[in-house]
Structure 1
Amino acid sequence: MSLKPITVYGHGPGPNPWKVIMVLEELNIPYTHKIVDFPDMKKEAFESININGRVPAIEDPNTDFALWESGAIVEYLIETYDKQNSISFAPGSKDYFLAKQWLHFQMSGQGPYFGQAVWFSRLHSEKLQSAIDRYFNEVRRVSGVLDRALEGKQYLVAGRYSYIDAAFVPWYVLAAQFDLDLEKNYPNLTGWLKRVQERPAISKSIQARAEACAQK
């Protein structure tokens, strides 16, 4: 059965929609990427899809279903379309829950802290050094957690690539603009990111993000 394209609502530079797109690319699911400008996220047309007025959100015509929050979308895509567990794990298995553990860490740890580091260092109307220091220290802490977890490992769960490896990539793509010296300070993390970013689906998504940013 041929699938109808899933609509992904995103915003060029924003990391979270690209996490969804990476999973779609890995699963070879057709999709349409619609860019939503910030003012339009708070208008009725988009809020009828995502009442929170943020991206990403998806509309899936194959199941007549709309969903928002990137972590929830990733779980939905995996559980709906990856029945062979090509980039996921058998439901109910230990690895299934370990992957969820890392997804929750990405959502609660990496995303918010990296986002605040970007905000206070680049976008906030005044320079608050204490806030900048706090959030960059959290970026380093999260990177340290991943670096230790990857000691002697190629990937985060079960020794093979899965969706959770992809989930961490977009924020690190954005964080490349900062002088974190990842290769020196976090060698396991650096090697893992390189492996993941060399995958065709991931490299294609990173290139598409760069092109979307260039158009802004």
Structure 2
Amino acid sequence: MSHGKQFTLYTHKGGPNGWKVTIVLEELGLTYESIFLDFQKGEHKAPEYLKVNPNGRIPALIDHKNNDYTVWESNAIIQYLVDKYDKDRKVSVAPGTNEYYTQLQWLYFQASGQGPYYGQAAWFSVYHPEKVPSAIERYRNEIKRVLGVLESVLSKQEFLVDGKATVADFSFLPWNEGAAKFLLEGSQFEEEFPATAKWHKKLLERPAIAKVWEERAKVSAH
């Protein structure tokens, strides 16, 4: 089977983790086809998709130029892409350096410290059938705690790693966007975390990311 694009990305229109991967693919100029799974129809739990990702979540990536190698978990995908395809270190740092492990540290923190808590905040604020004020408060406080960690670093430096924008920075973008728009009261994001808000805005101005955000708005509208 021949593929016009190098990668197939299984993702979801509203899922922040899929858009993180799309950002990296665009930043690196890699060709890909996005397949948006319909969660309402249970496509992410269908047997054919479970062959791709036994965890039944998005995203998952197939690299057709590497014997259809498949990788899932968004930050593992991101690590794969930069280790394999960012040889010029356009948006990453060289393996084996101290900065490489700093980059890895932020990717792990994003995956364990940001995504799950922001996701729970979204669940209890929007999707849970009953309102549970204590749960909403807990997870909103966790959002603020994570933003506080970012603020403590970004108030002293422009980017998270090595003085340049890397995948470490990009990985936080989609969840922070959701928090700023839907999960925090009023304008807390910009007022309480000014350095983080400035960094966020600067990243959104990058051409590749602006293109992804435009595409995201387009597919979300349908």
TM-score category, normalised to shorter length: over 0.9
Aligned residues: 213
2:7 corresponds to which letter in structure 1?
I
Contact 2:118/2:139 (<8 A) preserved: yes
Alpha-carbon shift at residue 212 of structure 1 (Å): 1.5
Q: Distance in 1 between matches of 2:28 and 2:177?
A: 21
Deviation at 1:5, TM superposition (A): 2.4
Distance 1:14 1:151 in 2: 29
Other structure's SS at 2:65 match: coil
Partner residue in 1 for 2:153: 149
1:177 aligned counterpart, secondary structure: helix
Q: Which one-letter code corresponds to 1:194 in the other structure?
A: K
**Shift of residue 170, structure 1, vs aligned partner:** 0.6
Equivalent of 1:45 in 48, 51, 67: 48
In the TM superposition, what is the alpha-carbon distance from 1:59 to its structure 2 partner? 0.8
The one of 63, 66, 72 equivalent to 1:60 is: 63
**1:152: how far off?**
2.5
Aligned residue among 181, 185, 210 for 1:203: 210
- Match of 2:148, SS state, is helix
**Gaps in structure 2 of 5+ consecutive residues:** none
CA contact (8 A) 2:5 2:33 kept: no
Query: In 2, Cα distance between the equivalents of 1:201 and 1:112?
Result: 26
Distance 1:15 1:206 in 2: 11
Counterpart residue identity of residue 99, structure 2: D
In structure 1, stretches of 5+ residues that fail to align are none
- 2:112 aligned counterpart, secondary structure: helix
Is the CA contact (8 Å cut-off) linking 1:4 and 1:62 kept in structure 2?
A: no
State whether residues 17 and 55 of structure 1, in contact with CA within 8 Å, keep that contact through their aligned partners in structure 2: yes
Whole-angstrom CA distance in 1 between matches of 2:194 and 2:217: 25
Answer whether contact 1:102 1:164 (CA < 8 A) is retained. Answer: yes
Post-superposition offset of 1:203: 1.1
In 2, Cα distance between equivalents of 1:4 and 1:92: 31
- Equivalent in 197, 201, 208 of residue 194 of structure 1: 201
Are residues 1:69 and 2:73 paired? Answer: yes
Where in structure 2 are the equivalents of 1:1-216 lying within 5 Å?
4-38=5-39, 39-64=42-67, 65-175=69-179, 176-178=181-183, 179=185, 181-215=188-222
Contact kept? 1:7, 1:60, Cα under 8 Å: yes
CA shift at 1:43, angstroms?
0.7
Which string of whole-angstrom CA distances, capped at 9 and with x for unpartnered residues, describes residues 34-76 of structure 1?
0111101111110010001110001110102011100110000
CA positional deviation for 1:12: 0.3
Offset of residue 4 of structure 1 = 3.9
Amino acid at match of 2:63: D
Q: Aligned-pair RMSD on alpha carbons?
A: 1.1
Distance 1:147 1:203 in 2: 23
1:1-23 CA-to-partner distances (Å, cap 9, x unmatched) read: xx842000011011000000000
